[in-house]
Chain A
Amino acid sequence: MNAPFQLVTPQRVTALPPVIDLPALRSVRPGQHRLGLGAPLSWGWVLGPLLLIVYWSVLSQTGWLDPRILPAPWTAVTAGVELIRDGRLQDNLAISAWRAAQGLLFGTLVGVGLALLSGLSLLGGYVIDGLVQLKRGIPVLALIPFMILWFGVGEGMKVTVIAVTVFAPVYIQTHASLRAIDLKQVELAETLGLGRWGFIRHVVLPGALPGLLTGLRFGVTAAWLALVVVEQLNATSGIGYMITLARNYAQTDVMLVGLVVYALLGLTSDAAVRLIQTRALRWRRTLAS
């Protein structure tokens, strides 16, 4: 067989290599063209709330803000100190926090449990997923009359309303991230001979954890919202009750303390979940890390 091509020795050089103009040059320094975020400050998130307080203080100090409409921040602080001194704030806060914690716990358990059932079995998916989507369409407020009918007006009803509000976002995020688990990891679990429980424990739950934690962040916020609703509607204790009572006596400073407490609760609980997120998801490398 012949070679597919032959090298032909050129007889003479017919042209010189073309002269190319030198392109524009630039010096390169590190960090010049970075598209990632850089190292985050751990307390960076405080900046926004801090700016709000500054803005609010300026408005109150200059008299632009009528104290009857919104008391000054320092009025809220003195009112808060007063409430702490006679013990009302701590007592009500403890009761509210306990309600929220119970609701959050049960809601998360139910959300994760249902997400596992519906994510890991086709029949479970058919049965549960549609029901959850239906439930999402019903606002919590609309459910409360029935909740009172079924569970009375006691603590059970309050915790149930919170749990029902929490479970939906936890379910949805967990389910979505569970169904997105790579089939390759499922195959791996099969070749390693993992059983159903080992598969759930080592592959499904850790794989769904990012979604679960996102859902939990939504869930925590939702829990405080539901708490406000149940406490202002029908309660004789808790921060919501404290606010309702203050409203009846036109104590705007106490109402404001209640709002600030809600805000702080929301902020700290969200920070707590984010802390869990960074601890539990150390194995990930993302834009934020």
Chain B
Amino acid sequence: MSAVVQVRGLVRRFTRKGVLDGVDLDIAPGEFVALLGRSGSGKSTMLRALAGLDHEAEGTGEILVPERLSVIFQDARLLPWKRVLDNVVLGLDGTDRQARGIEALAEVGLAGREASWPYELSGGEQQRVALARSLVRRPALLLADEPFGALDALTRIRMHALLRRLSAVHKPAVLLVTHDVDEAVELADRVVVLDDGRIVADLPVRLPSEGVARRERAAALQNELLGLLGVAVDAATSPYARSERITA
């Protein structure tokens, strides 16, 4: 099998929250998968299981992930006592680590900010540093846990473009956990919907490259996904159906 991620029969139970009830998932190399679900659906549990962060979990199942794996969290999680460049190259080996860090910062548009302290950056800039920190490790799999959830709407749009561009260049497999239907359709090749610890839908996105056809396909998919998430959408009254992206 050619998948970089192979999950079989994953079950996770916690005493407090988050349950997975038999999840199978494959992700192909370079594939961008959005994992969509309501809060409490188990999507973050799934990501933490793949990242190996669920020490306290009880459960069964098999997980195969690449050796080179990076995680982006909802908060940038920069160490406040390290300057930006030192945050990016933290844990890297090799004599070229500084050069790679500088290059990664330039890729996310933060050239010249290497010596800044994290508190001197805006929320969006901090998240870009976190992105640089993930990409500098040349991951075969990038796990992102609602990475844009704490950003304002305008910054989020810019970050979408940046992530799309960088994942096209570096081609890691991406698992993006989100509850934002627009974001999932905008970025992913494939949308997996998780509900109550089970995968209830696995849809290819395959948007036409541009034009009215793209907008219509996106809107249809968004409506379908919203329906799967339990948000009743009526084509006549839905803000999605009426938004200018379709009528414009």
Contacts and interface: CB of A to CB of B under 8 A. Distances in A.
Interface of A: 1, 3-4, 184-185, 187-194, 198, 202-203, 206-207, 209, 282-285
A192 B119 CA distance: 21
B91 A193 contact: yes
Given A202-B90, A283-B118, A191 B71 contact: yes
Contacts of B169: none
B53 A191 contact: yes
Contact of B81 (A3, A194, A209): A209
Contacts of A198: 91
Given A4-B237, A191-B71, A202-B90, A207 B81 contact: yes
Interface of A: prevailing SS: helix
Contact of B77 (A188, A206, A207): A188
A184 B77 contact: yes
B82 interface: yes
A194 B234 CA distance: 50
A3 B237 contact: yes
A203 B79 contact: yes
A193 to B, nearest CB: 5
Interface in B57-96: 69-71, 73, 75, 77, 79-82, 90-91
B47 to A, nearest CB: 11
Contacts of B226: none
Interface of B: prevailing SS: loop
B240 interface: no
* Max chain A Cβ within 10 angstroms of own Cβ: one of B80, B118, B133: B80
Nearest to B130: A188
> Which of under 10, 10 to 19, 20 to 34, or 35 or more describes the interface residues of B?
20 to 34
Nearest to B55: A190
Given A203-B79, A209-B81, A283-B80, A192 B236 contact: no
Nearest to B48: A187
Interface of B: 51-53, 69-71, 73, 75, 77, 79-82, 90-91, 117-119, 133, 234, 236-237
A197 B77 CA distance: 20
* Max chain B Cβ within 10 angstroms of own Cβ: one of A191, A193, A284: A191
Given A1-B234, A191-B51, A206 B70 contact: no
A271 to B, nearest CB: 23
Contacts of B119: 283-285
A185 B81 contact: no
A198 to B, nearest CB: 7
A206 B91 contact: no
Nearest to A186: B53
A4 B75 CA distance: 38
Contact of A190 (B53, B79, B81): B53
Contacts of A194: 90-91
A185 B77 contact: yes
B121 to A, nearest CB: 12
A202 B71 contact: no
A277 to B, nearest CB: 13
A185 B79 CA distance: 7
A194 B92 CA distance: 9
A184 B91 CA distance: 16
Contacts of A283: 80-82, 117-119
B53 A282 contact: no
B59 to A, nearest CB: 19
A192 B78 CA distance: 12
B55 to A, nearest CB: 9
Given A184-B77, A185-B77, A3 B234 contact: yes
